[in-house]
A and B are shown apart, each in its own frame.
Chain A
């Protein structure tokens, strides 16, 4: 195993015997070049997993090494001296953007990039107040992105309250927003990973926005998991209908290239409705955005099919809006206006939580279910829950204030709104109305987006 020789002589014999001695002589490379090799020397042994990820990556093939991304100017807030070089642990979209300019520009302009600005949101208030700071850090900010804080005492100058963090809207010390590794996990930074639904499912799941679960339920998800090996996920070019055709993933519809439009890292560009708020509304330039999405659908579907899907989706979104969200919002407004709440704090009263779940959890589930063809999420996890909540939790809780005006408002709603009249109508009558199509007539106009 061990050979004991006088190394000096043997080494020179070896080198002298090599025809490429001239090439072997140290090149007049930049400081960064020579440092790159030094980083790898230690980290190959000390961080073998990380090293191996990098080794197999496209970065390695293109000689993008540790120092290329982690090298930092001495004056940077998070730069520190490590083994003779100034480096920063944090790699921001601005760093990635030195090579990936278009991608960074799109990502920084996307809705994703704003995800970190949540401190003023109701969600953040709830997590901080009802949960606590550690919950906000490990929960909310892990997906949304933390505001990175500098700790001069920390070895890598990053405060532990905000690092590690790879939230998609991370607020970085260099002023940039986002984290590319939210989807392109370090250190392989794989395209294939970002193209898989699991990548998005890191955050887009759960009771309040179950996009991952809806996708899994849908025909799209079904086809994807069946034909995952034929998806050509690692290919350089990934055009739906050309490089793969079995199924779309999240990335396919929201980001990837088609034969007619290029890839975009601005994820909102093909979304026409916003399904997030209490009441959904159509986004600015929604027709253009919808057209972009429909153009993706067209890789596999006929335009009549696509139009039909949007017709059905618009209907559900507007039923949610008009039948439940708007009336519930009006009642909450009245309670607020009259100052009926016992505790002055938001979420300090039961009705706050009931209303919150109505729109933030159940209402979103229904809308996402309809948008991505998840029938169970549209109904049983969606509007069914909304209805049960609305009729038997929200309205009774609102009546508990015993405010005559509110009670009269609720009575009027249930007796005059044709969508709610069923509750005071004998079952047989309603059934007959369903059979005759009379009940459905109440919803005739609701399919057209407004």
Chain B
């Protein structure tokens, strides 16, 4: 049998094309078997190897199989003989003789090998699709482009959720969409057709509610969620102060009535028309409630004079308050609000430098005992560096230099803390700054909340008015009670009001608001 196989291979190696085909197919197959063996024996555990096993080797295998008949055709044309004659010439009688019921050995061998190929390709194909579903494929196949998203994903609350679980839709449609989309991405990467940084929002993301609500369903949101934000000062001891919010996260299904997740409660539907492509400003918002009532708010900036050249100004002149006919595409497509309109950075979370340092301080990675560490750490992150490698050296040299020069005596016993702080700050930089993709400090605003421009205030602002001209609600305590506000204590406003405190009015107001609005 082995002899037959060897003879077959020799016969197929008609010319250099055929030979290449034989070599590629055989070696790809053997290598694949070898790699799989190593994987099964757990000798190789690096997921990156999957790229070779499941992408490159099957690709070479198929390429080889294609080259063999091509080589044969070239050979036949060159020799100008019939297939029968060539078969007799290329293969020993051992193979070509009709010895069996079903034909020659050659025929039998080809049938057998084809079966093996089909089996291999089937199993391999399944392995390839499976591998393509792995985050490591998404994160590393287009290494440079995806690196920022990959880096942030790995440190996110969704690090255990596969990319495809959110990014690829359900069923065959989703699969085909994703593969076609992937093809385009491959072309973009190959021919450098992509923007840096990658623009958001991703318009063809799979429907968020179908995705997110598999784990986070609206009925699950009730009561309050306590959010204690610790910020550290730029003083010697990096003194902490607190902003504590009791977030009214209810969806309106419970006894308490809904607030934040009221927007996605089953009986409500919120729709909006963006005013700008990145959806950071809205032209109008409409609300359909369970009882059938319907309310619309429109952005008065787009009703009145918004600038000498604005479409709205032209519309106003024509007496039409509605978006004019000159708008198209995203600007005319009303969108039903879903999870990612607010939680647009649930996973790929980029940090502001100050927040990043605060988090490391709170986690203890950076030791507050080091004098002025918030100020110095933040300063080191904000330096202008030529690249990531330069930043790593710069951060380390900058901090060690400063502390050796300015605070030598005070940091004598803190060398270990200082080492840890340097490493932590370097990690912050690596997570957030990606020069190759032109990703600087937080290029993507997070819309859950209103820490950045936008967020809740995209709709909840004084310019968004109903037909009677009354603005939509945008009270500070609409969505959260405030229990501390850059205060020295995490629950400052639950403490008694201090007589001499300039903020005593606010203290009293917020305390009352919190106690009054809870049943």
Residues 313-356 of B contacting A (Cβ, < 8 Å): none
Is A333 on the interface with B (CB-CB < 8 A)? no
B369 CB to nearest chain A CB (Å): 21
With A1-B229, A8-B518, A24-B496 known as contacts, the answer to whether A37 contacts B505 (CB < 8 A) is yes
- Contacts A23-B497, A41-B476 hold; do A34 and B223 have CB atoms under 8 A apart? no
Judge if B120 is at the interface, Cβ distance under 8 Å. no
Please determine whether B503 and A40 come into contact, CB atoms closer than 8 angstroms: yes
Tell me if A428 is interfacial: C-beta within 8 Å of chain B: no
Residues of A within 8 A of B503 (CB): 40, 55
A11, A20, A33 pick with most chain B CB within 10 angstroms: A11
Query: Which DSSP category, helix, strand, loop or mixed, fits chain A's interface?
Result: helix
Asked whether A8 lies within 8 Å of B224 as measured between CB atoms, the reply is yes
B203-229 near A? 1/0 per residue, CB < 8 Å = 000000000000000000001111111
Partner of B510, one of A2, A7, A20, A37: A37
Q: Does B181 contact A (CB under 8 A)?
A: no
> Would B226 and A44 count as touching, CB distance under 8 A?
no
Query: CA of A27 to CA of B507 in the docked complex: distance in angstroms?
Result: 12
**A1–B225 alpha-carbon span in the complex (Å):** 12
CA–CA, A41 and B508, complex, Å: 11
Q: How many chain A residues touch B (Cβ–Cβ < 8 Å)?
A: 37
Q: Once the chains bind, are A10 and B226 in contact (CB under 8 Å)?
A: yes
Q: Does A38 contact B (CB under 8 A)?
A: yes
- Asked whether A41 lies within 8 Å of B226 as measured between CB atoms, the reply is no
Complex interface residues of chain A between 71 and 114 (CB less than 8 A to chain B): 83
- A14: interface (CB < 8 Å): yes
Give which listed residue, B224, B475, B506, B511, contacts A40 with CB less than 8 A.
B506
- The residue of chain B having its C-beta at the shortest distance from the C-beta of A7 within the complex is B224
Interface bracket on B: 35 or more
Report whether A41 and B482 are in contact in the complex, using a CB–CB cutoff of 8 Å: yes
Contact in complex: A6, B510 (CB < 8 Å): no
Pairwise interchain contact B223-A37, C-beta atoms closer than 8 A: no
B359 engages A7 (CB within 8 Å): no
Closest to B518 in A: A8
CA distance in complex: A29, B508 (Å): 10
Among the stretches A60-68, A299-307, A345-353, A367-375, the one at the interface with B is A60-68
At the interface, yes or no: B107 with Cβ under 8 Å from chain A?
no
Do A7 and B226 have beta carbons less than 8 Å apart? yes
Given A7-B223, A41-B476, are A26 and B494 neighbors across the interface (CB < 8 Å)?
no
Residue of A nearest to B463 (CB): A155
Other 17 A-B pairs with CB < 8 A, given A2-B225, A14-B491, A42-B476: A1-B229, A1-B230, A2-B226, A8-B224, A15-B494, A18-B496, A20-B496, A23-B497, A24-B496, A26-B511, A26-B512, A37-B505, A40-B506, A41-B485, A61-B500, A63-B504, A83-B475
Residues of A within 8 A of B (CB): 1-8, 10-11, 14-15, 18, 20, 23-24, 26-27, 29, 33-34, 36-38, 40-42, 44-45, 54-55, 60-61, 63, 65, 83, 155
Can you report 11 A-B residue pairs in the complex whose CB atoms are below 8 A from each other? A3-B227, A6-B224, A7-B224, A11-B494, A23-B497, A26-B516, A33-B505, A40-B505, A41-B476, A41-B485, A42-B476
